């Protein structure tokens, strides 16, 4: 467990969620919990579990919305969380990470300005997933000079790659 608060900030945020069939059940649970906590949620799909769906079809639109600032933060879920994380990070401006424990859920935001959390729907149980999401949403980027410097290097790399 963590010493961080286990309640979400009082100000509702617009949260985007996306999942393929491997993350569908966990996504539905988290959507219910987020709405009950007063957050507005945009569900990027899948709207029903289909074994032949593909995580990029849902995670990429979510990642683009995060990068454009249309949602405050994103939650992407597939079976392991790995594929969702890989594809999310292909979108410039997205800083996503696969998270399984609370330290990284807040540290990734505080130091690296992480704006998407990726979870494995077949790996992480409901209670832990909810704790991770709460920790992720409650965290704030520190803005410390060294972290801003590092993020500028990441942005420069993204800009270079998109121009290649």
What tens digit of pLDDT does each residue of 15-69 get? 999 999 999 999 999 999 999 999 999 999 988 888 899 999 999 999 999 999 9
Structure confidence at residue 11 (pLDDT): 55
Q: What is the mean pLDDT of residues 75-100?
A: 97
Is a pLDDT exceeding 90 seen at residue 163?
no
pLDDT band of 152, cuts 50, 70, 90: confident
Cis amide linkage into residue 46, ω under 30° from 0: yes
Q: How confident is the model at residue 164 (pLDDT cuts 50, 70, 90)?
A: low
Q: In what order do the strands lie in the sheet with 14-19?
A: 40-43, 14-19, 73-78, 116-120, 96-98
- Domain topology for 14-163: Ribose 5-phosphate Isomerase B; Chain: A, (3.40.1400)
9: pLDDT strictly greater than 70: no
Q: Which of 17, 25, 22 is nearest to 137 (CA)?
A: 17
> pTM of the full predicted structure?
0.89
What are the residue numbers of the active site?
Answer: 78
Q: Helices in the chain by DSSP H: which ranges?
A: 24-36, 56-68, 82-88, 102-112, 126-138, 145-163
CA gap 103, 90 in Å, rounded: 24
């Amino acid at each position: 467990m963590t010493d961080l608060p286990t309640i979400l900030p009082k100000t509702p945020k617009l949260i985007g969620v996306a999942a393929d069939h491997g993350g569908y059940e966990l996504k539905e649970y988290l959507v219910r919990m987020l709405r009950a906590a007063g957050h507005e949620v945009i569900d990027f799909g899948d709207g029903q579990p289909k074994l032949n769906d593909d995580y990029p079809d849902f995670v990429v639109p979510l990642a683009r919305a995060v990068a454009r600032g249309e949602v405050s933060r994103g939650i992407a879920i597939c079976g392991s969380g790995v594929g969702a994380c890989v594809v999310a990070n292909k979108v410039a401006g997205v800083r996503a990470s696969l998270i399984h424990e609370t330290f990284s859920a807040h540290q990734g935001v505080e130091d690296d300005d992480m704006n998407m959390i990726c979870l494995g729907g077949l790996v992480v149980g409901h209670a832990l997933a909810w704790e991770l999401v709460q920790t992720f949403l409650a965290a704030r980027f520190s803005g410390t000079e060294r972290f801003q410097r590092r993020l500028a290097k990441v942005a420069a790399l993204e800009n270079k790659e998109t121009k290649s």
